[in-house]
Amino acid sequence: MALPLEGLRVLDFGHTIMGPSCGVILADLGCEVIRIEPPGGDRTRRLVGFGVGFFPTFNRNKKSFAVDLKDPRGIAVLKKLVETADGLIENFAPGTMERLGLDYDTLAAINPRLVYCTLKGYLPGPYENLPALDEVVQMQGGLAFMTGPPGRPLRAGASVVDIMGGMFGVIGMQAAWREREATGKGQKVAASLFESVAFLVAQHMAAGAISGQPVPPMTERRTTWAIYDVFAARDGQVFVGVVSDQHWLRLVQQFPALADLGADPLLATNAQRVAARDRVMPRLNALFGGMAVDEVVSGCNAALIPVAPVNRPEDLFTDPHLLAGGVMAAHALAPGVTADLPLTPVRMASGPLPLRRQAPRSGQDTADLMAELGLDAAELAAAGVVEV
């Protein structure tokens, strides 16, 4: 299948998650993404704990070019590769690319059409030279406060800010390529962690401005809907959200044990149900507590009421919707370990985005790319400048 960004070459200097997530989305969309790594491979390949899956998750559909960035000969090789590139991604600490001689101004002089995406902790301002991490900015931007119980800030359960920052990088690069069609020139675009968090919590900032009151964490509910909770079922937990009067009518019709509540005119509107929540919730807790999760889910689904079991990540391996939708593909995660993981969740008219290449071994494509550039890979490999 033809992919929308085919024909664009991007050099991915990313590491950990933010840069690689930007690169993997572009790769899934069809870009030729070349992962720039040091000989021996990026340190992300060797992470343990929660980080053990980072590299195979965020580096599919990419090539690997392994080169020593501390060797002037390696920098010279990279500059030759930059001449052929449409885009570049980097999320090093502030000042690193400048010290390497790979800053935007230097590379734009080599290739004026280059779109250079820099992903940092902060956009320009007083903080711009400070180090940052996903968890740091979740604390700094109020997201951890909104996620945890009162007095116990809690980071989100995935690297949401790293990935969102990478997504904003993709948006910026696509916009810059579109502008390049008119001007013929590339440009430097930037996205960041802190400003991404600010974007995420803007709805809470607005709520506080309107109410004139400090916004409490999401765990300390200021009830908007009477039924919008996790319920304990007989064999697990299930979330049910009744956010309209139509949902309410369908709920009480679907579950006959609630028929008397449905007939009560004092519960006809959401505002009335919120006021009577102390009366409504015990009935629902008793009802759902005597049912299996699957029974609650199937009943709510039949009535088109928002519902979901409280799953663990590993439950998604067998999720029938994901498996049927073509958004999962078998990733080689480690020697002898293969598992279906989600691809970029965009579906084009031609179908879901495919897995075309597994995450590469370090330096897998160095020799081929150097041959394309007319360079002798064997000589530089013998000197330890590149890995093939």
Quick one: 283 exposed, middle or buried, by C-beta within 10 A (0-12, 13-18, 19+)?
middle
Backbone angles phi, psi at 370, to 5 degrees: -70, -35
Based on the residue annotation, tell me whether 162 is a catalytic residue of this protein: yes
Q: Which two tokens stand for residue 194?
A: 């802190």
What is the distance between the alpha carbons of residues 90 and 119, in angstroms, rounded to a whole number?
6
**CB-CB contact of 161 with 170 (8 Å):** no
Catalytic residue among 12, 42, 134, 162: 162
Put residue 41 in one of left, alpha, beta given phi > 0 → left and psi -120 to 50 → alpha. left
Tell me which residues are annotated as active site.
162
